Chains A and B, each alone.
Chain A
Amino acid sequence: MAQRNLEKQLNILDYALSSLWRRRLKSLSLLLVFAAVIFLLASFQMVTQALTDKARQVLVYTPEITLQKMSVGRQEAIPLAYREQLAGIFGIRRVVPRIWGYYFDEVRLANYTVMGMELGEMPEGARLDTTLSGGAMPGTDERGRVVIGQSIKKALALEGRTTFSLFRPDLSLTSFEVSGEFSPDTDIMTNDLIVMGLAEARDLFAIPAGLVTDLCVYVANPTEIETIAKKISATLPSVRVLTRPQIQKTYQVVFGWRSGFGSICLLTALAAFVILAWDKASGLSPEERREIAILKVLGWETSDILAVRFWESVLVSGLACLAGMTAAYIHVVYFAAALFRPVLMGWSVLRPELHLAPRIEVGNILLILAFTVLPYLAATVIPAWRSATVPADSALGG
C-alpha cells in the first residue's frame, strides 16, 4: 500500500513538473521574483551572522575590563594614579595603561589607529606576538620601534624601507622604525593599527605625563569579571567600566536589532510577493479550467489536484530558495555584502576590507524557509483549492 502511494505521489510530481513546464513563462517570472525576495532576506541574515561571529572573534583580544574616565559626559584622559586605588581589589591580574586613538594622516588622507602600551607589562596570553607575520614586537627598552598592520604598510608605501615619520600636534616630525608587521589573518582589527610603546604614543599625541586614555584591567578568572567591575565602579565612581561580555552582548543586540529592522523592511517586499503569488494562483485561465475539468472526468479526485498544486508550490519555492540562497551566499562572501554593509555597520567610511564567511547552519536555513516559503505555501493553498473544485461540467461546457 505504501509503495502504491509513493508511486502515485511520484506520478503526481511528474505531472506537476510538466504542468510547470507548460506554463514556463508564468512559472519562471514567479520564480525569479521569489528568488529575489529570498536573496534579500537571506543576505541580511547571513551578514548579521557573519558580523556577529567576526565581532566575537575580535573581542577575544580585548582586555576583560576597560576603564575610561568620563567628564561632562565625554571621555577624557585618565590619570595613571588611579592604578593605586585598584590595588586593593582581589582577582585583578594586572592593570595596563594604554593610549589608544586615531591619527589622521593629512598627506595620505587616511585614518590610522594608534595603540601605545607598555608591551612588556601585558600578561601572557594577551600578548600580540602570535599575530605577527614577520619581525618582532619592540622590546621594553627599544625606543621608536613600532609594529604595523597590512594597510598601513600599503598606505605608507614602505617598499623595503623600515622608517617613516608622523606629525605631532605642533607639526614637528617624529620618526618610527618598523620592527614587525601583523599577519593578514587578523586584518579585521590590525589592518589599520600601529602598535608602539607608551612613551612614543605620549610623545606623538602630546599627552601630559601621568595621563593615558584608558586602563586595561586583566582578570584572572572570567567568572569574576562582573564582581570586579562592580568593585571598580564603587571605588572610582567617575570612571566608565566596560566589560568584555557587556560589549559582546551589546554587539549581539545591535546586530540582532538592525537585522530585525531590516527584515521588517523586507517584509513589505515579501507581502507584495505573497499578493502576487495569490493573484497568479487564483486567476485561472479558461485552458486551466478545462485541464482540471478533463482531469476530473478522467477520474482524478479533488485531493489529487490539490496534491499537484502542492507539489508545484514546493517545486517553485524549493528552486527559488536554492537560487536565492546561493546568490545571497555569493553576495556575502565574494562581494562582502555590498548592498547591506552600510545598514549593518554604518559608522565609519575607512573600514578595512571585510572577508565575511557566513556559517551555513540548519537553523538559519530553516529561519529563511519560515520567512519565505511558509507564507508562499499559505498564500497558494486557497487558490489551489478553488481551482481544484471547479465543477467539471461547467468548465467543459463553456
Chain B
Amino acid sequence: MFLNPWSLALSLCSLVALVLGAVAGRTAVRVLRFWEPGSDSNRQIRLENEIWLSSTLVAYGLGFQIITLILFVLAADQFCQVIVGAMCATGALLANPYGMPALLVKLVGIFFYGFWILIHQLDIRSEHYPLVRIKYLALLLLLPLLVLDASLQTLYIAGIKPDIITSCCAVVFGESAGDATGNLITGLSQQGLLAAFLVSLAGLVLAGFSLLKRWRPWLAGLYAVGWLWFFGLSLVVITSVISSYVYAMPYHKCPFCMLKPEYYYFGFALYGALIPAAFFGASAALAGLVRGKAGLRGVVDRYQQLAIKISLVLLLIFSGLSCYHYLKYLISGGEG
C-alpha cells in the first residue's frame, strides 16, 4: 500500500536518510584511507573539512530517524483503519512479519546514531581528533543498519493489504491466555513485574547517586547494563500494567494507543522521558571506554557527571508520569 500519504512520507524520509548516509559513508571511507593527523597536505585539510559535513549529516540523520519513528507508529495507527480486525497500531504492525522488526530496528537505530554523535562530540573537544578512525569505522557499521531499516519499512508497507485479518491489542496484549492467536506477554504476573520495576528503579537511583559521589568504572558499567534492562522492562510494564490505568480500561493494554490525542498525547511524554534517560544512562559507561585517549580525560569526566545527572532527572520524570494515572485511580477512583 504505497499510494497513501503516510507510506509516501515514510519512504521519502528513508530515502533522504539513505542519501545523507551514503554521502557520509563516502567521507568515512576517505578518512579511513587517507587520514594523516600530522600532515598539512591539501588532502588532509579537505578531509578535516569533510569531517564537519559527515557529522552534520549524521546529526540530521538522527533527527530524521526520531521523526520517522514517531511517524511510523502514527502511520500504523492510520493503516489499522483499512486492515480488517485491527483497531490500533498493534494490529497494523502485526499485519505482516516486518512491522515489529521495523519498529525495533528504528528504536535501536536511534540509540546507535546517538552514540555516534556522542563519540563525535567528545572527539572534536580534543585538538588531536583521537577518535577519528573509531568514529568512521562505526559510521560504516551504521550504514547497514540504515539500509536494514529502510528495507524492513518498505517490505512492511508493501505487505499491507487492506484485506488481511489481524488481531487487535486487546487480544495480543490481553489476558486471554490459551488463545490460538498467541499472546505476546502472557505468563508474567502483574505484581511480579511491578516489583521488578520498582526494585530496578530503586537500584538505578542508588547506583546513580553513588556514581555522582565517587566514580567507579565497574559501577558505571553496571549502571549502563541496568539502564538497558530497565528500558526493556519498562516497555513491558507500560504495556501490561501502566497502559490500562492510562486508558481507564482493565482490558485495554497497548503501548501505542496512548500516543493518540484521546489520551492527551500522554505516550509522547512517557516515551520522551524514557528513551533519552536510557540513552544517557547507558552512554556514561560508553564514554568511559574512550577516556584513556589523548586529551579526552577531562571532557569525558565532565560528560559522565552530566549524563548521570540528566538520566536521574529523566528517571524521576518518567517514574512520576508512570505513577500518575495509578495514583489518580487510587485517590479519586479514576475517570468519572
- Partner-B contacts on A (CB < 8 A): 1, 44-45, 48, 249, 252-253, 256-257, 259-261, 263-264, 267, 302-303, 306, 310, 361-363, 366-367, 369-371, 374-375, 377-378, 381-382, 384-385, 388-389
Q: Is B67 an interface residue (CB 8 A)?
A: yes
Whose C-beta in chain A lies nearest to the C-beta of B9?
A370
CA distance A263 to B5 in the complex (A): 6
Minimum C-beta distance from B300 to chain A (A): 14
CA distance A303 to B56 in the complex (A): 9
Q: Is B52 an interface residue (CB 8 A)?
A: yes
Minimum C-beta distance from B188 to chain A (A): 29
User: Could you jot down 7 A-B contacts, CB within 8 Å?
Assistant: A256-B4, A257-B3, A363-B78, A366-B74, A378-B20, A385-B49, A388-B52
Q: Are B265 and A252 within 8 A (Cβ)?
A: no
Contacts of A1 in B (CB 8 A): 302, 306
Q: Is B118 an interface residue (CB 8 A)?
A: no
Chain B contact residues: over half helix, strand or loop, or mixed? Answer: helix
CA distance A378 to B6 in the complex (A): 19
Minimum C-beta distance from A397 to chain B (A): 17
Number of A-B contacts (CB under 8 A): 98
Minimum C-beta distance from A265 to chain B (A): 11
Q: Is B90 an interface residue (CB 8 A)?
A: no
CA distance A143 to B12 in the complex (A): 61
Minimum C-beta distance from A225 to chain B (A): 12
- Partner-A contacts on B (CB < 8 A): 1-10, 12-13, 16, 19-20, 23, 49, 52-53, 56-57, 60, 64, 67-68, 70-71, 74, 77-78, 81-82, 84, 124, 162, 261, 265, 268, 302, 306
Q: Which of B5, B6, B268 has the most CB of A within 10 A?
A: B5
- Contact for B16 among A44, A263, A361, A375, CB less than 8 A: A375
CA distance A362 to B268 in the complex (A): 11
Report if A389-B49 is in contact (Cβ < 8 Å); known contacts: A378-B16, A381-B57.
Answer: yes
- Contact for B56 among A259, A306, A362, A366, CB less than 8 A: A306
Report if A366-B5 is in contact (Cβ < 8 Å); known contacts: A302-B49, A302-B52, A381-B57.
Answer: no
Contacts of B77 in A (CB 8 A): 363
- Contact for A260 among B5, B64, B84, CB less than 8 A: B5
Minimum C-beta distance from A229 to chain B (A): 13
- Contact for B64 among A302, A374, A388, CB less than 8 A: A374
Contacts of B16 in A (CB 8 A): 374-375, 378
Q: Are B20 and A381 within 8 A (Cβ)?
A: yes
Contacts of A363 in B (CB 8 A): 74, 77-78
Minimum C-beta distance from A371 to chain B (A): 5
CA distance A377 to B261 in the complex (A): 28
* 12 further interface pairs, Cβ-Cβ under 8 Å (given A48-B5, A264-B3): A45-B5, A249-B81, A249-B162, A256-B82, A260-B4, A267-B8, A363-B74, A363-B78, A367-B9, A374-B16, A381-B56, A381-B57
Minimum C-beta distance from B289 to chain A (A): 22
CA distance A1 to B5 in the complex (A): 43
Whose C-beta in chain A lies nearest to the C-beta of B52?
A302
Q: Are B261 and A362 within 8 A (Cβ)?
A: yes
Contacts of A375 in B (CB 8 A): 12, 16
Q: Are A378 and B60 within 8 A (Cβ)?
A: yes
Q: Are A253 and B53 within 8 A (Cβ)?
A: no
Q: Are A260 and B49 within 8 A (Cβ)?
A: no
CA distance A264 to B23 in the complex (A): 26
CA distance A275 to B82 in the complex (A): 35
Contacts of A371 in B (CB 8 A): 5, 8-9, 12
